[in-house]
Structure 1
Amino acid sequence: MFKEKIIEILVKETSLKKEELEELIETPPSLGLGDYALPCFVLSKKYKKNPNQIAEELQKKLSKKLLKELEKIENKNAYLNFFINKKLLAEEILKINANFGKSNLGKKKKIVIDFSQPNIGKPMHVGHIRSTIIGDSLMRIYDFLNYNPIGINYLGDVGLHIGKLIVAYELWLDKEALKKDSIKELLRLYVKFCAMEKTKVTEGMEEEFILKKDLIKFMIY
């Protein structure tokens, strides 16, 4: 809205085409230099004048009939700096409300976002949470821009660690603990299996045989 209005008046005053101005107009590096800026160096060749002089002349001319969308226009080192009307901007945002910034940029194009991927039987740690938050945020942003985002979450449910968990589940499961806090109980089972695996301590030869036999089956699968 604001940029379009600025381009509209500059088309009349500079004889530059709309497409040219769209490429030329910049966002200044700091708020003190305005919201939009036009470098007047490119106009120097056309008008056969110093770019700073061109910026000064345009600033005076445009400021006489200042658009309601602008608070002021300044000349700074041959840049014509435009300061938008913040009150009007706030009013426009309130009108648009929750749809502010929404667009049809995506045109329902599919986009796949792979994120989160926690392991089965273990609590999510900070690494998972970071990925989950970023992934979910990207899903919402792309949806807001009218893309068709598809979230993919590969659960860590295949691998040797799952084989260990299955065997531990069969041998040492506490059903009451599982009902109370399933993740905590599955973690306990996995930790117990790993501890026994390292120390090679078992409650009997039968259990040791089951551990090896079931793990081999799972690895073949």
Structure 2
Amino acid sequence: MRLVIASCSVDYEGRLAAHLPRATRLLLVKADGSVLVHSDGGSYKPLNWMSPPCTLAEADPDEVEAELGVTAVWVVRAPKSGDTLRIRLFEVLSDSSHALGVDPGLVKDGVEAHLQKLLAEHITTLGAGYRLVRREYMTAIGPVDILCRDEAGVSVAVEIKRRGEIDGVEQLTRYLELMNRDPHLRAAGPVRGVFAAQEIKPQARTLATDRGIRCVTLDYEALRGMDDAEARLF
């Protein structure tokens, strides 16, 4: 990422025209090619920007621009639309580049990995007599989040989501079709499915019920031991 702090003016030409008069701003040039113009305010939103794919070319100012004190010009152009961002630099206060590497993305508290670990530790949340067999039970098309057995010894496949939607039910359905071909898993009866999430969309719940899959809404705080539902006054 390239970070440039400069006194500049910015003109955008495309579906509309926009002009930013001369001021000191932060210019971000990201590895994906995007260019963003920020001020020291307005929270996270840039004043103007160009999303990839786009090209950035640095040019010398023309005679008129040079007379106004422009030292360099950035021309950022989107090849498909022809939209153009023209940034005129008057004075560069700082210019630095940094290799940030691959970002792992935002990890939210309570995502599937945390829920899986907590539910495995408190497997009786699913019912009295439930016993954990293993986490990440591997099938030919991927791992089931939790494999456990109920009080009768019947195998139960548990798919865990932070937000339960139709694609999660479809995923669990495919796992169950494969697992029910295994005579060892079917020893005490057909493998049953549990679709567990902090929030389950009505359409997903309807589909799961139609396919004989039990839906369980998980209380993350209760699983962590921070919220005892039975001890609430209201």
**TM-score, L = length of structure 1:** 0.23
**TM-score, L = length of structure 2:** 0.23
Query: Between Structure 1 and Structure 2, which shows a larger proportion of helix residues?
Result: 1
